[in-house]
Amino acid sequence: MDTLLIAIHAIAATGVVLLAPVQVLRRPKDQRHKAIGRSWVVLMYFVCVSGMFIYSITGGFTFFHALAIFTFLTTTLGVIMIRRGHVRTHAFNMIGSWLGAVTAGLFAVLIPTREIPRLVVAEPLVFWTILIAVIVAATLWVAYVLRFVPVRRPAEAVVRLTDEHRGARGSAPEGAER
């Protein structure tokens, strides 16, 4: 059970690590950013919650559990901040959450007694197959969003009345009710 949980946790964490650069490098504030961002938040929450159930190293609470709680909070703050219109604070919290995930991932990969390095040594084909599958899945998701989700920014969705819509003198167009 612990190995399956660790595998699912690592797969979701890989998705988190892969999607974040797309968000940072693309132009923000459009529907595509929102779609990828929402999927990133779901993955991040999954990583944080699933991480709380992994006790394979010490059998108790570790630095990774504290980092999971902290990351859950900063991700939640990032969501709250963007809903309130605080773009800089949103970006700070989301990038910080991503950096925390990258840091935890590096420790998980670089410590030889952890599950991932042991899997690379014991079953390299399984490891590389899973890693490639996750990269392909993340790439396909981003390609789908970039292809099929409208580019429209939220402000562009609002129809604004111009002189042409109101008529030359600010009155309603001919035939329109007042």
Q: Which of 124, 129, 107, 113 is nearest to 13 (CA)?
A: 107
Are 14 and 131 a contacting pair, CB within 8 Å? yes
Q: Average the pLDDT over 21-39 and give the result.
A: 88
Tokens of 48: 């944080």
Are 41 and 20 a contacting pair, CB within 8 Å? no
Checking if the pLDDT of 77 tops 70, the result is yes
Helices 87-110 + 31-51 axis angle, to 10: 40
13-17, 57-61, 93-97, 117-121: range with lowest mean pLDDT: 57-61
The percent of residues above 70 in pLDDT, for the chain, comes to 83
Residue 28 has a pLDDT of 65
Instruction: List the chain domain ranges.
Output: 2-151
Residue 153 has a pLDDT of 64
CA-CA distance, 99 to 137, in Å (whole number)? 22
CA-CA distance, 143 to 27, in Å (whole number)? 15
Q: Is the sign of the CA dihedral 131, 135, 138, 141 positive or negative? A: negative
11-25, 45-59, 107-121, 150-164: range with lowest mean pLDDT: 150-164
* pLDDT digits 0-9 by tens, 84-103: 999 999 999 999 999 999 99
